[in-house]
């Protein structure tokens, strides 16, 4: 082989070694970059998850307190609510036997009928209709 051919062969060999070395270094850098981004992602994920958990806990605590207080209040309410009240001679005498009589108590308020929600004052209601119930 002539010296110039030998020199070209050595140059090509050196170039190949340098390219291989370059790609090995780049591979190491890419691996290091991915490891770093995985660590950062995990730290951010843990941090955000902890912050969201804390936020949701702070948000839920007052709501749960209100819920438990309402449960105590609801537990004291009569389970038969609303309930029916029949007309008597002393109270709503004009409504006795009337088909329009509703007679349900809602939140402590008696709804007598749609035409006269609080009842009629005397014994002769102008809207009285005979009940068809037996």
Contacts of 130 (CB under 8 A, 6+ apart): 97, 98, 99
Position 133 scores a pLDDT of 66
Q: Is the pLDDT of residue 134 over 50?
A: no
Q: What pLDDT digit, counting tens, does each position of 7-66 carry?
A: 899 999 999 999 999 999 999 999 999 999 999 989 888 888 888 888 888 888 888 888
Residue among 82, 95, 86 nearest 122 (CA): 95
Q: Is the pLDDT of residue 80 over 60?
A: no
Contacts of 128 (CB under 8 A, 6+ apart): 94, 95, 98, 100
The pTM of the whole model exceeds 0.75: no
35-37-40 Cα angle (round to 5): 110
Longest Cα–Cα distance in the chain? 136
- The length of the chain in residues reads 134
């Amino acid at each position: 082989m002539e010296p110039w051919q030998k020199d070209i062969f050595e140059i090509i060999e050196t170039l190949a070694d340098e390219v291989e070395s370059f790609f090995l270094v780049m591979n190491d850098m890419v691996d290091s970059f991915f490891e770093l981004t995985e660590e950062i992602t995990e730290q951010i994920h843990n941090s955000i998850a902890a912050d969201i958990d804390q936020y949701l806990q702070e948000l839920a605590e007052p709501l749960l307190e209100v819920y438990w207080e309402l449960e105590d209040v609801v537990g004291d309410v009569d389970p038969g609510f609303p309930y029916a009240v029949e007309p008597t001679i002393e109270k709503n005498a004009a409504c006795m036997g009337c088909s329009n009589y509703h007679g349900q108590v809602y939140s402590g308020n008696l709804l007598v009928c749609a035409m006269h929600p609080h009842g009629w004052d005397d014994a002769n209601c102008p809207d009285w209709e005979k009940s068809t119930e037996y």
